[in-house]
A and B are shown apart, each in its own frame.
Chain A
Amino acid sequence: MNGFPTIVRLTLHEARRKKVLVATLVCGLAMLGLFAIAFFFVSRDLGHNSGLPLVQRRLMLNFFIMAGLYGVNFLMVMTSVLLPVDTLSGEIASGVMQTVATKPIRRWEIVMGKWLAHAMVLIGYVLLLTCGVLLIARTISGFTPPNVTRGIPLMLLEGLVLLTLSIAGGARMSSIANGVTVFGLYGLAFVGAWTEQIGTMVGNATARSIGTAASLLMPSESMWQLAAWNMQPPLMRELQLTPFSPASVPNAAMVLWTVGYVVLTLIVALRGFARREL
């Protein structure tokens, strides 16, 4: 089985050269820089001389860190979709895939090799930015939000949902149609998640059910909400003072469904590409 590691290596090599990755890295570093400057001033003004109680100061710092992590989340969504969007469809359209697929290699090795390499790049990217935000906050204020070891994997799971969909779409659609479809699904999840939250707050069961159905269809946003819920102190969760405190908290079953969703999408990608005529 030489094909799989060879495809992983080539895809990693390819990802390094992609302008999308360079652009998101530059944007990510710029965001970290901005966050560091802003956090420094906010933290200084919220210091011991501000007259605010410690709990309130911590809540405000936590909120600001969540805003930084939300920025990371946004960049992760872009990267998850755009980095692999043409990895299959682009090579099929250009004829590159014909030369690869006529080698003694199984088609699943091509798909899995590309998926693994892109997942590795995505994980590295997200860890760099999330750890950057947390390290900046820790260094400046000595404060770290709770449960980051639970929150960051949930963010990564959200990224993997989008990345896997983007690869699966590339097995059947053109790059542009694929990108539009995955972002469309992400938008659906975003609206669905907010419908669920508002439905819960106002006690409207129908709105809540519609939101839940949308989250099942596309669970990306619910993973961010669960990650955000985990990385806040209990008081902040209960008071629901910020947009990062969901009223309806996704449960463990939703996490399991999301893992299954990634696996199912990957199976769809493998089957789609195996049947694809090149």
Chain B
Amino acid sequence: MAEPVIETRALRKEFGEKVAVAELSLSVRRGEVFGFLGPNGAGKTTSLKMLLGLVRPSAGEGTVLGARLGDRATRARIGFLPEHFRFHEWLTGRELLRFHGQLYGMCGASLEARVDALLERLDLLDASELALRAYSKGMLQRVGLAQAMLNQPDLIFLDEPTSGLDPLGRLLVRDVIGELKRAGTTVFLNSHLLGEVEVTCDRVAFVKQGRTLREMVLAEHSPELEVDLRVDPLTSEVVQGLARFGEHVPQRNGSLRVRVPNEQALPEMARWVVERGFKLYQMSADRPSLESVFLEVMGDDQRPG
């Protein structure tokens, strides 16, 4: 298993009497694309700020790239794209990247070459001499992503990177995340767009009310299956019996859904139903969608944010 680049133990943040993050414990491995999911108000942004050293934890501890949170030398190896990236609107895109490159200690021809490469990669070369006030929301987000990549970071934090982007922009960002992963960069992705996370991330953590509820490997990489069954009669004996093969997922429409660890369970389940004389009308297996897992993890008490 790859070494962890982020490790936190019971990180907590209180603002007065309000608890923003109750107990954040997570581990992110080198080279993975890690999704950080939760509803609005779950403490995602505060958690991100603690990892970046912008906010001091009230309790708990953590390391990023092996150093304490907020360590200055370590920040030279980190990139960060905040949600709704904004900067001085009178700067041109090129000036903005130069300024941030200088803050990373870059200068001269190497900085200029890096700026050119990123402007081209993020499809902003044509707009490089325009002031940021002339940029669309999507262009701002892309130039923000470029400034986060200037130092070829070992770890990059992306807070809603596709916010404000059109489908082509999203595709571009998705490709860039893929390139970062191939280059060995660890990506910490905070996003509401579960579809984006599903196709981009290797692993995700679900947070609610400032607690890590669950970490999981995503569908593409996981052998887990969700099995839908239509059995007659659907008695409690059937529900309890089939739940032995995995984890019963409550369904509102009266059908039965069981999450099983792998496909080996499927013939066993069918045999169990038939041998007991129940009628099996339908049995289908699919990878669980991130949305269904999200809803299940968040529970019925979660209200729209």
Residues of A within 8 A of B (CB): 2-3, 6, 10, 13-14, 17, 94-96, 98-106, 277-278
How would residues 44 to 62 of chain B score, 1 for a CB under 8 Å from any chain A CB and 0 otherwise? 0000010011111000000
Contacting pair A2 B55 (CB below 8 A)? no
- With A10-B99, A278-B49, A278-B55 as given contacts, are A102 and B86 in contact (CB-CB < 8 Å)? no
- B230 interface contact, C-beta 8 A: no
Contacting pair B103 A104 (CB below 8 A)? yes
Name B114-148 residues within 8 Å CB distance of A.
144, 147
How many residues of chain B have a CB within 8 Å of chain A? 29
Cα A105 to Cα B147 in complex, Å, equals 15
Contacting pair B80 A102 (CB below 8 A)? yes
CB-based nearest B residue for A103: B103
Residues of B within 8 A of A (CB): 49, 52-56, 72-73, 75-76, 78, 80, 82, 84-88, 90-91, 99-100, 102-105, 107, 144, 147
Dominant secondary structure of chain A at its interface with chain B:
helix
Contacting pair B73 A17 (CB below 8 A)? no
- With A17-B90, A106-B72 as given contacts, are A98 and B100 in contact (CB-CB < 8 Å)? no
Contacting pair A101 B82 (CB below 8 A)? no
Contacting pair A98 B84 (CB below 8 A)? no
CB-based nearest B residue for A14: B88
Contacting pair B73 A104 (CB below 8 A)? yes
Contacting pair B54 A101 (CB below 8 A)? yes
CB-based nearest B residue for A100: B103
Cα A137 to Cα B84 in complex, Å, equals 54
User: Which residues of B have CB within 8 Å of A3?
Assistant: 103
Cα A77 to Cα B80 in complex, Å, equals 39
- With A102-B54, A278-B55 as given contacts, are A96 and B104 in contact (CB-CB < 8 Å)? no
User: Which residues of A have CB within 8 Å of B105?
Assistant: 2, 104
Cα A96 to Cα B88 in complex, Å, equals 8
User: Which residues of A have CB within 8 Å of B87?
Assistant: 96, 99
Pairs A–B under 8 Å by Cβ, sample size 24: A2-B102, A2-B107, A14-B88, A14-B90, A95-B82, A95-B85, A95-B86, A99-B147, A100-B103, A101-B54, A102-B53, A102-B54, A102-B75, A102-B80, A103-B75, A103-B103, A104-B75, A104-B76, A104-B103, A105-B72, A106-B72, A277-B49, A277-B55, A277-B56
